[in-house]
Amino acid sequence: MPNMIIDKAIQAKPERRKYMRHNDGVLQLCIRRKGLLRSFAKGEPAEWLNFNEFGLAFSCDTRFEINETIIIDIKTTTITLNDIVAVIHNARRQAGSFRYGVQFYFGANSYMRSTEVRDKLLEIERELE
Protein backbone atom coordinates (compact mmCIF):
# COMPACT_ATOMS: atom_id res chain seq x y z
CA MET A 1 0.00 0.00 0.00
CA PRO A 2 2.74 2.58 0.81
CA ASN A 3 4.29 2.01 -2.62
CA MET A 4 1.02 2.94 -4.28
CA ILE A 5 0.97 6.23 -2.38
CA ILE A 6 4.54 7.01 -3.42
CA ASP A 7 3.79 6.08 -7.03
CA LYS A 8 0.74 8.35 -7.06
CA ALA A 9 2.74 11.19 -5.52
CA ILE A 10 5.40 10.84 -8.19
CA GLN A 11 2.83 10.76 -10.96
CA ALA A 12 1.05 13.83 -9.55
CA LYS A 13 4.12 16.09 -9.77
CA PRO A 14 3.60 18.92 -12.24
CA GLU A 15 5.89 19.08 -15.25
CA ARG A 16 8.82 21.43 -14.52
CA ARG A 17 9.97 21.61 -18.09
CA LYS A 18 9.17 24.91 -19.80
CA TYR A 19 9.62 23.65 -23.33
CA MET A 20 9.08 20.04 -24.21
CA ARG A 21 11.86 17.87 -25.49
CA HIS A 22 12.42 18.34 -29.14
CA ASN A 23 15.51 18.12 -31.26
CA ASP A 24 14.78 19.53 -34.66
CA GLY A 25 18.23 20.96 -35.30
CA VAL A 26 17.36 24.41 -33.96
CA LEU A 27 19.87 24.10 -31.12
CA GLN A 28 23.32 22.55 -31.45
CA LEU A 29 25.51 21.73 -28.47
CA CYS A 30 29.16 20.83 -28.17
CA ILE A 31 30.32 19.63 -24.74
CA ARG A 32 33.86 19.36 -23.38
CA ARG A 33 35.48 18.89 -20.02
CA LYS A 34 36.87 21.92 -18.23
CA GLY A 35 40.63 22.18 -17.95
CA LEU A 36 43.56 24.04 -19.44
CA LEU A 37 44.42 21.52 -22.17
CA ARG A 38 40.80 20.52 -22.65
CA SER A 39 39.88 24.13 -23.45
CA PHE A 40 41.41 23.57 -26.87
CA ALA A 41 39.73 20.20 -27.41
CA LYS A 42 37.04 19.96 -30.07
CA GLY A 43 34.37 18.58 -27.75
CA GLU A 44 31.53 16.19 -28.39
CA PRO A 45 28.22 16.99 -30.04
CA ALA A 46 25.26 16.44 -27.73
CA GLU A 47 21.52 16.17 -28.24
CA TRP A 48 19.61 18.79 -26.30
CA LEU A 49 16.50 17.73 -24.45
CA ASN A 50 15.43 20.84 -22.58
CA PHE A 51 16.66 24.40 -22.25
CA ASN A 52 16.08 27.49 -20.15
CA GLU A 53 18.19 30.53 -19.28
CA PHE A 54 19.54 28.83 -16.13
CA GLY A 55 20.49 25.40 -17.47
CA LEU A 56 19.72 22.58 -19.84
CA ALA A 57 19.34 18.84 -20.22
CA PHE A 58 21.22 16.91 -22.87
CA SER A 59 22.28 13.41 -23.81
CA CYS A 60 25.62 12.24 -25.15
CA ASP A 61 27.91 9.20 -25.15
CA THR A 62 30.50 10.67 -22.75
CA ARG A 63 30.33 9.87 -19.07
CA PHE A 64 30.51 12.87 -16.71
CA GLU A 65 30.29 12.92 -12.93
CA ILE A 66 27.82 14.79 -10.73
CA ASN A 67 29.31 18.19 -9.75
CA GLU A 68 31.78 18.03 -12.65
CA THR A 69 32.29 21.36 -14.41
CA ILE A 70 31.93 21.29 -18.19
CA ILE A 71 32.16 23.80 -21.03
CA ILE A 72 29.32 24.10 -23.53
CA ASP A 73 29.22 25.76 -26.94
CA ILE A 74 25.65 26.61 -27.97
CA LYS A 75 24.52 27.48 -31.47
CA THR A 76 21.11 28.31 -32.88
CA THR A 77 20.18 29.60 -36.30
CA THR A 78 20.88 33.17 -35.14
CA ILE A 79 23.01 32.97 -31.95
CA THR A 80 26.39 31.46 -31.14
CA LEU A 81 27.50 31.35 -27.52
CA ASN A 82 30.83 29.68 -26.71
CA ASP A 83 32.59 28.70 -23.51
CA ILE A 84 29.51 28.51 -21.28
CA VAL A 85 30.50 27.05 -17.92
CA ALA A 86 28.04 24.60 -16.39
CA VAL A 87 27.92 22.07 -13.56
CA ILE A 88 26.44 18.58 -13.87
CA HIS A 89 23.61 18.31 -11.33
CA ASN A 90 22.04 15.02 -12.34
CA ALA A 91 23.03 12.10 -14.51
CA ARG A 92 21.60 8.77 -15.55
CA ARG A 93 22.27 6.11 -18.13
CA GLN A 94 19.54 6.09 -20.75
CA ALA A 95 19.19 3.96 -23.89
CA GLY A 96 22.90 3.38 -24.45
CA SER A 97 23.96 6.96 -23.69
CA PHE A 98 23.91 9.31 -20.73
CA ARG A 99 21.33 11.95 -19.86
CA TYR A 100 22.49 15.00 -17.92
CA GLY A 101 20.92 18.00 -16.27
CA VAL A 102 23.22 20.99 -15.85
CA GLN A 103 23.01 24.45 -14.37
CA PHE A 104 24.97 27.30 -15.88
CA TYR A 105 27.66 28.49 -13.47
CA PHE A 106 27.37 32.26 -13.54
CA GLY A 107 29.98 32.68 -10.81
CA ALA A 108 32.70 30.92 -12.80
CA ASN A 109 34.32 34.00 -14.33
CA SER A 110 33.64 37.55 -15.54
CA TYR A 111 32.45 36.29 -18.92
CA MET A 112 29.77 34.14 -17.27
CA ARG A 113 28.72 37.11 -15.09
CA SER A 114 28.40 39.39 -18.11
CA THR A 115 25.06 40.72 -19.29
CA GLU A 116 26.02 39.53 -22.79
CA VAL A 117 25.91 35.88 -21.70
CA ARG A 118 22.68 36.24 -19.72
CA ASP A 119 21.00 38.18 -22.54
CA LYS A 120 21.99 35.60 -25.15
CA LEU A 121 20.80 32.69 -22.98
CA LEU A 122 17.46 34.44 -22.57
CA GLU A 123 17.34 35.07 -26.34
CA ILE A 124 17.95 31.38 -26.99
CA GLU A 125 15.17 30.44 -24.57
CA ARG A 126 12.79 32.79 -26.38
CA GLU A 127 13.89 31.44 -29.76
CA LEU A 128 12.94 27.94 -28.63
CA GLU A 129 9.43 28.91 -27.49
Chain segment 6-33, per-residue pLDDT in tens: 344 434 444 455 544 454 568 999 999 9
Domains of the chain: 17-128 (2.40.10.220)
Q: What is the pTM of this model?
A: 0.79
Task: Name every residue whose Cβ is closer than 8 Å to that of residue 28 and which is 6 or more positions away in sequence.
Answer: 45, 74, 75, 76
Q: What integer pLDDT is reported at residue 106 of this predicted model?
A: 98
